[in-house]
Structure 1
Amino acid sequence: MLENFWKDKYPAGIPTEINPDQYPNILAVLKESCQKFADKPAFSNLGKTITYGEMYALSGQFAAYLQKHTGLQPGDRIAVQMPNVLQYPIVVFGAMRAGYVVVNTNPLYTAREMEHQFNDSGAKALVCLANMAHLAEEVVPKTGVKQVIVTEVGDMLPPLKRLLVNTVVKHVKKMVPAYNIPGMVRFNDAMAKGKGQSFQEASPAGDDIAVLQYTGGTTGVAKGAMLTHRNLVANMLQSKALMGANMVDGEEVVICPLPLYHIYAFTFHCMAMMISGNHNVLITNPRDIPAFVKELSKFKFSGFVGLNTLFVALCNSEEFRKLDFSKFKVTLSGGMALQLATAERWEQVTGCKICEGYGMTETSPVATVNPIDAVQIGTIGIPVPSTLCKIIDDDGNELPIGERGELCVKGPQVMKGYWQRPEATAEILDAEGWLKTGDIAIIQEDGFLRIVDRKKDMILVSGFNVYPNELEDVMAAIPGVVQCAAIGVPDEKSGEAIKVFLVKAPGAQLSEEQVKDHMRNNLTGYKVPKFVEFRDALPTTNVGKILRRELRDEELKKLGAK
């Protein structure tokens, strides 16, 4: 058992333990921060900024509306389906203050995915962006949702700008398909009804569910991870501790391009930055790189939370490379593997190292991270305070340091379980609180961890284990490669053969043979791909993570058709 192994592995100034019961619930942190940092900016979006004090007042208005006008009962689930707009934190904190459980819902979901999630969670209410309301119209009658609140992108802006933005989105960009939901309420009407109204402030226990966070569903049916108030408070304190003295409370400006409905951005921006009183700049559409860079130019930002594909896209932007990085000191990466070539380029462009971390929805999400002052590129850092990690073999036996096996995590941020799925919970979470991650990792002698790959993504070539991450790291270093992925495809001789997919930068000259030559020069023979395919784009999740599973499914379909 490795309890004592980690004790001396933390850099000076970083505690090995946090107290997950320092606050009884998220609302206690919210109240303290909104009083302490009342005049400090909390969130900015589309040119409008709200302070912590304003956020507290606005979330109170929304809480009052929910309690007085919706018929929701304490503990009911409320689905929230919005991109990064100011309404998001107001709605989420308002729902929690009123005593409800937040169900984070991806705005890019199809009607089928929405129906599954609303029914599985038993959601009684939905707050959604008008752009998705046509899907809500189709889905809501098939669910238990009784109350729908619809908001438009510009609803938090001053009246004239609100009218302009909402008109452009609806009529010029035609991004709001027609919808008709009987009994729906507009967000601004709900806020008006809640203004000046009193409400009963909830006081949930630490073990009560705060958020039902659905896993991406790339491994079958999406399941709701039950994240409690204690889980999220613990991860908030753990994340803050790993920031060390680098982040000054109430003074940092942190860019938020990743969606708040994703657990990574949710915990960091709505939780860890809240306890620190820092300023979050919400980017509604990070895929529009020119508009994104224009927004960045308005702030002397000191922090940035992103992932590999986003770092690559920004470094390829000439305008981004011209920005003022004089205050920039923290870049955090998670959600997918950070490639060495990307990390080096980002540091070269911005002067800021990337701290890669690791986590899962089931760990609220941060389990390990590189400390800001001790970054080790190619690793996922050390366990956050009060967290243990171990490596096990296929039979569940703990392996020694340096051995490769499945990573398990234990700590106060580990979920309560999957919502109404005791069997699925038992498969991943044991009686002692150890969570099996499904990732293959190594613990180094210095306490830093390296992820080798997803257990199920491993490619078996003639009995040899080949890990796609390693292949993708090597491919990413080829000049002109924008995106890449590696998968295993069935092969009569070797069981599986390696197939790689690459997206080239515009104008890049790159042949199949050049790719194979590069791989041969950097990898042992059995790791060289048998097949190379160039594409215009690769399938990705909403946060830009490449979906190897989709590529595998496509290949299997082709084989089935032959």
Structure 2
Amino acid sequence: MAMAATHILRGATAHADSPAIYVGDDTLTFQQVNDRANLIAHHLLAAGVQKGAHVALLVNNGLNSVPMDFAAIKTGVVRVPLNARLSLDEHAAMVEGSRASVVVADASLIERATELAGRIDGLQILGLGAQAEGIADLLEPADGPIGEPDVELSPDDPTLLLYTSGTTGKLKAVIHTQGSYGAICTNILANLLDPRHDSVMLHAASLIHASGTFVLPYWVRGGASAILPGFEPASFAAAIARYRVTEINLVPTMFAMLLSTGVLADADLSSLRKVIYGASPMPAPVLERSIEAFGPILAQYYGQTEAPLVIAALDEQAHADRSLWGACGMPSTDVELTLLDDDGREVPRGEIGEITLRAPFQMAGYFDADELNAATFTPDGWIKTRDLARFDERGYLHLVDRTSDMIITGGYNVYPREVEDALASHPGVAECAVVGAPDEKWVEAVTAFVVVAPGAQVSESELIEHVRGLIAAHKAPKTVHLVEAIPKSAVGKILRRALREPLWEASK
């Protein structure tokens, strides 16, 4: 099993003078990226950050994103990426929950890092191109040549601790190792992409999410990564021509925004070879318009943080068959996958069961969560995904539902319990429930139902702003319905499905 660190060194050696990273007007070659990664690694080790240390990363998309990730992999430290969109409270919970002892921040986020240091005793702050008093900069030039870090690594060494919410909204962190992260690279190359020396992938989504997993496959094959600070339709469309982009990776919300703004009408898309999408269900009208705009070059992947990136894929040829729109696709060549009933027995083809899998790219487990690991792994190491699906007669996998009530809005996972807890903290809220409603822009919109406390007076806008003050803005409800009662089961459990289904039925 090739480790992530092995892939990095092989790519740097094989493609040294080729362009590897484009950011704005700046270009870094493979050798320059590797040299910068080694410089960061040198400073990490000099600062006492040794193999196995948990290092939280507050790093936005930029010229140093990839070198920072590579440096962490080379030194054997465990990356804990923090989404810059989250609140201070959420960041603090992640740093403490992951037992991170260090935070590395770029110039745009160094202030948040110092806020965290003020709340968490003993937290070490390091800058990444950030000039701040009393904070060492990992990009400070070295006194002499810097070689590869002298750190012994093995496939079982943890390299990434990536947060994903639990079914109850409680934070949980997935552990990936040098081996599993290397296998993610191999999985993408075997099942989704075949980059060449002249290939360029455009990244607009945060590199801490799925977008970042594409960097290493391109690196190994000599392809480049063009990195944008974020997604804005006009600049995204212009970047395709500017960098002669051959592949793009989008979530359905991004397609909807590109189509609705009309930026594709005059865009030069002639360099594109493949358009990839995933992360959330693609509405059929959006898919149809996207194929019209880009041509018959769309492919879909289905995966999870626990098993990234490609559990199943629906290729360009399959998209020609409209009956397959909405399918996950064919299981990947490097995954063992079965559908099980509640008793752990394989279901017949056509019937619904829980997707259960085993693959070299699966997580090592959840960090510091013995009970959750026991519930997730079978005794022989298979992962129970909590996703329900069925196989059709041709062997295509179709996702049916989630065993949890997760909402995917704009490509981000939102769990109702977290939003409900924020709503319930308002004194005017007696009861509440949160579900996902269909939305043309966001695919699913966070929608709340609230029973107002006796004698209280609250407005929709007041409740939305209250939630925004407690958790990330993208998790706040887009709509709040004030109702007389919340439907419940005989044992008092909130029936979210009873709230959700009428919203979806009304949209048909």
TM-score range, shorter chain: 0.7 to 0.9
In the alignment, structure 1 residue 184 sits paired with structure 2 residue 135: yes
Q: Which runs of structure 2 are paired with 1:465-480 in the superposition (5 Å)?
A: none
Structure 1 residue identity aligned to 2:366: Y
Look up the match of 1:523: none
Note if contact 1:227-1:415 (Cα within 8 Å) is conserved in structure 2: yes
Q: CA deviation at 1:34?
A: 0.9
Structure 1 residue identity aligned to 2:274: V
Note if contact 2:269-2:294 (Cα within 8 Å) is conserved in structure 1: yes
| CA distances 1:300-355 after superposition (whole Å, capped 9, x unpaired) | 22101111000111122323222222231211111111222222111101114321
In the alignment, structure 1 residue 132 sits paired with structure 2 residue 78: no
- Aligned partners of 1:299 and 1:181: how far apart in 2? 33
SS in 2 for 1:401: coil
RMSD: 3.4
1:546 and 1:240, CA in 2 relative to 1: closer, same or farther beyond 3 A? farther
Look up the match of 1:265: 211
In the alignment, structure 1 residue 424 sits paired with structure 2 residue 372: yes
Which runs of 5 or more structure 1 residues have no equivalent in the other structure? 1-20, 156-179, 459-467, 473-484, 488-495, 506-532
Structure 1 residue identity aligned to 2:10: E
Q: Which runs of structure 2 are paired with 1:483-562 in the superposition (5 Å)?
A: 500=437, 502=439, 559=485
Q: CA deviation at 1:358?
A: 0.8
Note if contact 1:407-1:441 (Cα within 8 Å) is conserved in structure 2: yes
Look up the match of 1:400: 348
1:283 and 1:195, CA in 2 relative to 1: closer, same or farther beyond 3 A? farther
Structure 2 residue identity aligned to 1:136: A
Structure 1 residue identity aligned to 2:51: P
- Aligned partners of 2:434 and 2:53: how far apart in 1? 49
1:216 and 1:333, CA in 2 relative to 1: closer, same or farther beyond 3 A? farther
- Aligned partners of 2:335 and 2:177: how far apart in 1? 17
SS in 2 for 1:324: coil
- Equivalent in 251, 256, 266 of residue 307 of structure 1: 251
- Equivalent in 29, 36, 51 of residue 51 of structure 1: 29
- Aligned partners of 1:448 and 1:195: how far apart in 2? 56
1:100 and 1:406, CA in 2 relative to 1: closer, same or farther beyond 3 A? same
Look up the match of 1:249: 196
1:304 and 1:433, CA in 2 relative to 1: closer, same or farther beyond 3 A? same
1:558 and 1:281, CA in 2 relative to 1: closer, same or farther beyond 3 A? farther
- Aligned partners of 2:57 and 2:483: how far apart in 1? 35
Q: CA deviation at 1:364?
A: 2.9
- Aligned partners of 2:198 and 2:220: how far apart in 1? 12
- Aligned partners of 1:61 and 1:352: how far apart in 2? 43
Structure 2 residue identity aligned to 1:35: T
Look up the match of 1:118: 95
- Equivalent in 117, 120, 132 of residue 143 of structure 1: 120
In the alignment, structure 1 residue 290 sits paired with structure 2 residue 234: yes
Note if contact 1:239-1:272 (Cα within 8 Å) is conserved in structure 2: yes
1:546 and 1:337, CA in 2 relative to 1: closer, same or farther beyond 3 A? farther
- Equivalent in 398, 402, 414 of residue 454 of structure 1: 402
- Equivalent in 200, 218, 223 of residue 172 of structure 2: 223
Note if contact 1:63-1:194 (Cα within 8 Å) is conserved in structure 2: no
SS in 1 for 2:171: coil
1:140 and 1:326, CA in 2 relative to 1: closer, same or farther beyond 3 A? same
Q: CA deviation at 1:551?
A: 6.9
Q: CA deviation at 1:431?
A: 1.6
- Equivalent in 297, 312, 320 of residue 353 of structure 1: 297
SS in 1 for 2:150: coil
Structure 2 residue identity aligned to 1:29: H
| CA distances 1:416-452 after superposition (whole Å, capped 9, x unpaired) | 1111111111111112222111212111222211112
Note if contact 2:206-2:230 (Cα within 8 Å) is conserved in structure 1: no
Q: Which runs of structure 2 are paired with 1:8-407 in the superposition (5 Å)?
A: 21=1, 23=2, 25-68=3-46, 70-143=47-120, 146-151=123-128, 183-189=134-140, 192-193=141-142, 196-198=145-147, 200-216=149-165, 219-243=168-192, 247-262=194-209, 264-269=210-215, 271-286=216-231, 288-375=232-319, 376-407=324-355
- Aligned partners of 2:434 and 2:103: how far apart in 1? 46
| CA distances 1:258-307 after superposition (whole Å, capped 9, x unpaired) | 21111x112122x2222222111111120x32233333331222101111
| CA distances 1:39-73 after superposition (whole Å, capped 9, x unpaired) | 222111122111111111111111111112x1122
| CA distances 1:126-153 after superposition (whole Å, capped 9, x unpaired) | 111333333222222333664322346x
Note if contact 2:56-2:104 (Cα within 8 Å) is conserved in structure 1: yes
Note if contact 1:123-1:144 (Cα within 8 Å) is conserved in structure 2: no
- Aligned partners of 1:381 and 1:109: how far apart in 2? 33
Note if contact 1:126-1:145 (Cα within 8 Å) is conserved in structure 2: no
Q: CA deviation at 1:218?
A: 6.7
- Aligned partners of 1:213 and 1:504: how far apart in 2? 27
| CA distances 1:354-400 after superposition (whole Å, capped 9, x unpaired) | 21111111113321112344444321112222202111223332211
Q: CA deviation at 1:241?
A: 1.1
1:373 and 1:252, CA in 2 relative to 1: closer, same or farther beyond 3 A? farther
Structure 1 residue identity aligned to 2:221: S
Structure 2 residue identity aligned to 1:249: R
Note if contact 2:127-2:135 (Cα within 8 Å) is conserved in structure 1: yes
- Aligned partners of 1:38 and 1:223: how far apart in 2? 38
1:136 and 1:559, CA in 2 relative to 1: closer, same or farther beyond 3 A? farther
Structure 1 residue identity aligned to 2:256: V
Note if contact 2:183-2:361 (Cα within 8 Å) is conserved in structure 1: yes
Identical aligned pairs, as a percentage? Answer: 23
- Aligned partners of 1:325 and 1:295: how far apart in 2? 10
SS in 2 for 1:323: coil
1:184 and 1:497, CA in 2 relative to 1: closer, same or farther beyond 3 A? closer
1:439 and 1:53, CA in 2 relative to 1: closer, same or farther beyond 3 A? same
Structure 2 residue identity aligned to 1:309: T
- Aligned partners of 1:121 and 1:557: how far apart in 2? 39
Structure 1 residue identity aligned to 2:170: V
**What is the TM-score with the length of structure 2 in the denominator?**
0.78
Aligned length: 437
- Aligned partners of 2:190 and 2:51: how far apart in 1? 33
| CA distances 1:199-252 after superposition (whole Å, capped 9, x unpaired) | 6332311111111111145742221111011111112111101246xx342121
1:362 and 1:195, CA in 2 relative to 1: closer, same or farther beyond 3 A? farther
Note if contact 2:76-2:157 (Cα within 8 Å) is conserved in structure 1: no
- Aligned partners of 1:149 and 1:557: how far apart in 2? 49
- Equivalent in 366, 369, 383 of residue 435 of structure 1: 383
SS in 1 for 2:37: helix
- Aligned partners of 1:556 and 1:136: how far apart in 2? 39
**What is the TM-score with the length of structure 1 in the denominator?**
0.71
